[in-house]
Amino acid sequence: MTRTFDGLNFDFPPTAAQIVELAHQHRRNLDEAVFHQDIHLGNFCLLQRKRVYDFTRDLDKQQRKDFYGVYNGELLRIADDDELHPQDAERGVGVFAIVLVLAIIALVLYFAVIKNIVG
């Protein structure tokens, strides 16, 4: 049995090579969508993942797990490294920075407001 999904023909269940080709097709679709101002990338990616989800509903649990293992692994493999936004920058603001900002705010409030009220 074969099925067509995003212009590609798939055996059912799909082979690893077919899943890899789908990941590459989705990457090309994303690359093209980046240059269209009328497309919201978040919605585009959610729609694409939803279509993949709907496609995999006919697979049994193990086949679905294998599909996503190959699909997600290939997407990670072909992803571009973003040197401007490294992964370790996603940790957020450090505790030291928060304490420093709060101390500066406290000093400003003290000299601007409290010192004038007391003295």
Residue 75 has pLDDT above 90, yes or no: no
Residues 11-22: tens digit of each pLDDT:
888 889 998 998
Residue 84 has pLDDT above 90, yes or no: no
**Mean pLDDT over each residue of the chain, to the nearest integer:** 84
Residue 3 has pLDDT above 90, yes or no: no
Residue 115 has pLDDT above 90, yes or no: no
Query: Which residue shows structure tokens 């067509």?
Result: 4
Rounded mean pLDDT of 31-54? 84
CA 26 to the chain's CA centroid = 14
Distance CA 78, CA 45 (A): 16
Rounded mean pLDDT of 86-107? 81
Rounded mean pLDDT of 58-73? 92
Question: pTM for the full model?
Answer: 0.62
Distance CA 41, CA 47 (A): 10
Taking a C-beta distance cutoff of 8 angstroms, is the pair 6, 32 a contact? no
- Dihedrals φ, ψ of 2, to 5°? -125, 155
Taking a C-beta distance cutoff of 8 angstroms, is the pair 33, 44 a contact? yes
